[in-house]
Amino acid sequence: MRKALLFLISLSVGIVLLIGVVRFIGWQEVRTAFYIFAGWQGIVIILLTILALFFGMWKWQIILKSQGYQISNKQLAPSYLAGFSLIYLFPMLLFGGEFFKGYVLREKFNIPLRKGMISVVIDKIMEETAFLATVLVGTIFFLFTIGLPPRNIAILIAGVILILTSSFSYLYFKIFKKQSIASFLAKRMESNKFLNGHALEIEKDIFNFFRNRDKAFWGSFGLAFLKVGATWLRTWLLALFLGKSIGALPALSVLGFYYLAIIIPIPAALGTHEIIQTFSFTALGAGAGTAAAFTMIQRGAELILAIAGLLIFGKLGVSLLKAAFFRKIGKIRA
């Protein structure tokens, strides 16, 4: 009930923000977004969204392969897409999509939950590192282009970037200095309850992956940035379809603001993406109206895949529940 209430509250906030932004900009931009998304341009945006997700899935497959598990991309696709839908539509469920992917690995491929979660955490760290690099480069270019934004906005952006940069710097410092984070946390709670007592083992495997810097490390890191590259191309082309040739570096700034928007736990970044991109597009001289059409088309492409993932999640959930039920029955009979 608490999680359902959180979802309804965050969804309501997003809808209110979205309606407010659209009413401020005008409904004409909504019609423009619909016409473009319904044409061949919409197909291009959807295909680039699929490509970005494919790079992300391939990255996960390489990480699993480095752990000794040979699973094809075709086999991973359903669980990856289902995990994406949970993260995209229910971001308030912290680590919900990530845990689901680890659980599916155990139930479908007989991969121990600990090993599955190790692959998921490594995948998440690499992806968020690529996102953070995009945010930093995009923000630097943005500031060089327009100068300092209004004080309140500057403080907010600087605060978020500082927190993210500090967190990842701390993480990588601990990794390469071979200093444990898990032991620090375990001291402040009952160690046998901290990740079922396996925290240190999980941390060791994760840190070893980053310290080894072998073929799997560089391959998965490269795919993390290829995913960013596909999304960057989508951003640039979508602005071009809307009649705004903003250039490659401004498109990187817009993409960086998108990554900042999805940090806020609101389903599909409703409202928050519009507000942030209205600011960035206006500052870059592309107009607030373009920002509204841009966010709606991008969200439309992502929602198509998220809904498909949600359907897969329902199907997987039913099959996994059946398997668990029959396994329990088998144990009782034994």
**pTM to 2 decimal places:** 0.84
Instruction: Give the chain's length.
Output: 334
Q: Of 282, 290, 289, 18, whose CA–CA distance to 150 is shortest?
A: 282
Domain boundaries, the chain: 2-10+29-316
CA 107-111-114 angle, 5° bins? 105
Confidence of residue 265 (pLDDT cuts 50, 70, 90): confident
Contact in structure between 158 and 143 (CB atoms under 8 Å) = no
Distance CA 255, CA 134 (A): 7
- pLDDT per position as a tens digit, 28-87: 666 767 777 778 888 999 999 999 999 999 999 999 999 889 999 889 999 899 889 888
Confidence of residue 231 (pLDDT cuts 50, 70, 90): very high
Distance CA 72, CA 115 (A): 17
Q: Tell me the average pLDDT of the chain.
A: 80
Helix or strand run (H / E) with residue 84: helix 73-89
- pLDDT per position as a tens digit, 299-315: 889 999 999 988 888 87
Q: Which residue has the tokens 């897409």?
A: 81
Please give, one letter per residue, the 3-state secondary structure of 129-156.
HHHHHHHHHHHHHHHHHHCCCCHHHHHH
pLDDT-above-70 percentage for the chain: 76
Distance CA 301, CA 45 (A): 7
Confidence of residue 191 (pLDDT cuts 50, 70, 90): very low
Specify the 3-state DSSP secondary structure of 284: coil
